[in-house]
Amino acid sequence: MLDVKYLRENADAVDAAMASRNATWDRERFFELDELRRKTIAEVEELQAQRNRVSKQIGKLMREGKRQEAEDAKALVREGNERIERLGELRDDTDAQLKELVAALPNLPSPSTPLGGDESDNPEVRRWGVPRAFDFEPKPHWDLGTDLDIIDFERGVKLAEARFYLLGGLGARLERALINFFIDLHTQIGFKEWWPPVITNYATLFGTGQLPKFDEDLYHVNPDLYLIPTAEVVLTNIHRDEILSADDLPLWYTAFTPCFREEAGSAGRDTRGIIRVHEFDKVEMVKFSEPESSMDELESMTAEAERCLQELGLPYRVVSLCTGDLGFGACKTYDVEVWLPSYDAYKEISSCSNCWDFQARRANIRYRDPANFKGTRYVHTLNGSGLAVGRTMAAILENYQNADGTVTVPEKLVPYMGGVEVIGPEA
C-alpha cells in the first residue's frame, strides 16, 4: 500500500508512475476523501478542546451558585459529545473509503525499472549457458513424461480437472529431489526454512497484495479461508503487526509449499504440459530488509535463483521487467527464464521482486533502530522463486533428453535420486 502523505504531496509523480504501469488512479476522489478526513479530524480536536475548557468551568460555576450558566455549559458539552460521535462515524466511513481506494493502487516503480508497455519491452540483463544443439528431433516434456510413464495427464484430469496432473515412479522422485535440492541450497547460505500452512486468511492475502484485487485468481476454501498462491504470502506475514529489531535484519526465509492458482484469465495459454497449471510445487525465498540495502538484497536473491539453474546446468537468461509488465506489489523485478527446447524460447522459472515498503505498510511490519532514528520504520520486503519445481522438471526433461527417449539426471541431483542416473521407460 502506498503512503497517503506521499500521494498527497506528489500527485503529479503518481500520475506519471501509474501511466507508466498502464494503470490509473482516481486522483480527484482521493483528494476529496483526504480533505474530508483531515477536516473531520481537525473539527473533532477543536470540539474536544472546547469540551475540556467548558468542563473545567462547570465546577467553578456551580461553586459560585451560577446554576443556569452551569446547566447551559453542560448542554454545550452534551451537544459537543453528540457532534463528536457523528464526526467519528463520518471519519470511520471516510477512512474505509480512502483505504479501499489506496489499497487498489499498485506499487510505484523504482527509478531503475525500465520504462515500457508490456513484456516485449523487457530488456535482457544477462545470459548463462548455451542452449543445446540436438542431433535428433527433441520431444517436448509432455511427450517425454508420458512416454516414460512418469507424468500422467489423463489421470490428473480424472482426479481433479483440467490443468492438474499426476506424477508417478521416478517422476514423483524427481519432484521430491528438486524440492530437497533447492531447500538445501538456500539453507546452506543462511536462509531459515519454514513449513507454513497452505490455507490462509483474508488479512494474510491483503498484506501481500493478493486481496482484494486478485480474488478471482484464488481458490476459496470457504468464505474466510483460501489456498495460498505462493509461499510468499505466508512467509511475509509471519511478522505481520510486529516490530522487528534492526540487529536482526536482514531476515532470509525459505519454504516449500504446493501453490494453487485459478488464473481465471489464462485460458488458452500454455495449455499443454506442466508449465501453467492450477496446482504446482515451488520453493520460495522471502527477505525482510532495511530500506537502504533492499536493492542489494534483490541482486543477491536473483543470484541465488540463478545458482539453482547453474547447479543443474540449465541455460537461462535474466530480464528486467519494464513498468508495464511489473507485478502489482513490486517496484523492481527480475525474471529468470530457463531455456525450453519445446518452445524454442526462454520461459519464466523465477521472478525476484523488491516490494519496498508496499507490503510492509499493508501488513504493518516495522523495525526499530534506536542508534539511527527515533520511532519505527517500515521494512522492505522481497520475494523470489527458488525455484518453481514443475517448470524445472520440464526443463530437465527437455534439455537432458537422449536420442533413445531416456533422460539423463543432472549430476547434482543424482544423490537426491537415490543414485539413479538415467530415467528410462521402466521408471
Of 213, 24, 25, 22, the C-alpha closest to 118 is: 22
Phi, psi dihedral angles at 215 (to 5 degrees)? -55, -40
Contacts of 334 (CB under 8 A, 6+ apart): 125, 298, 302, 318, 319, 320, 321, 351, 352, 353
Q: Domain total for the chain?
A: 2
CB 217 within 8 A of CB 227: no
Range of the domain at 391: 119-423
pLDDT of residue 266: 53
Going along 9-123, which residue ranges are E strands? none
Active site residue 348: yes
Share of the chain above pLDDT 70, in %: 98
Residue 403 within a domain: yes
Q: What is the CATH number of the domain that holds 267?
A: 3.30.930.10
The active-site residue out of 163, 385, 391, 398 is 391
Residue identified by cell 495427464 is 153
pLDDT of residue 69: 79
Residue type, 385: S
Q: Are residues 152 and 217 in the same domain?
A: yes
Active site residue 38: no
Q: Are residues 91 and 137 in the same domain?
A: no
Active site residue 261: yes
**CA–CA distance, 273 with 391 (Å, rounded to integer):** 10
CB 180 within 8 A of CB 416: yes
Burial of 396 (0-12, 13-18, 19+ CB in 10 A): buried
pLDDT of residue 268: 54
Residue 97 within a domain: yes
The active-site residue out of 132, 240, 276, 317 is 276
The active-site residue out of 342, 351, 353, 385 is 351
Q: Are residues 267 and 413 in the same domain?
A: yes
**CA–CA distance, 25 with 96 (Å, rounded to integer):** 17
Q: Are residues 174 and 213 in the same domain?
A: yes
CB 349 within 8 A of CB 309: yes
Q: Are residues 153 and 93 in the same domain?
A: no
Q: Are residues 292 and 156 in the same domain?
A: yes
Q: Are residues 312 and 238 in the same domain?
A: yes
pLDDT of residue 81: 87
Residue 297 within a domain: yes
Cα three-residue angle 359-100-362, rounded to 5 degrees: 15
Q: Are residues 150 and 212 in the same domain?
A: yes
Residue 248 within a domain: yes
The active-site residue out of 37, 51, 173, 261 is 261
pLDDT of residue 427: 45
Residue type, 177: A
**Residue after which a domain boundary falls, among 103, 136, 156:** 103
* Polymer length of the chain: 427
pLDDT of residue 83: 87
Residue identified by cell 538456500 is 186
Of 109, 112, 20, the C-alpha closest to 324 is: 20
**Residue after which a domain boundary falls, among 48, 76, 103:** 103
Residue 113 within a domain: no
The active-site residue out of 43, 69, 263, 348 is 348
Ranges under pLDDT 50 in the chain: 265, 427
Q: Are residues 339 and 370 in the same domain?
A: yes
Residue 20 within a domain: no
Active site residue 176: no
Active site residue 163: no
Q: Are residues 94 and 232 in the same domain?
A: no
pLDDT of residue 76: 84
**CA–CA distance, 282 with 92 (Å, rounded to integer):** 40
**CA–CA distance, 394 with 328 (Å, rounded to integer):** 28
HEC-encoded secondary structure of 311-342 = HHCCCEEEEECCHHHCCCCCCEEEEEEEEECC
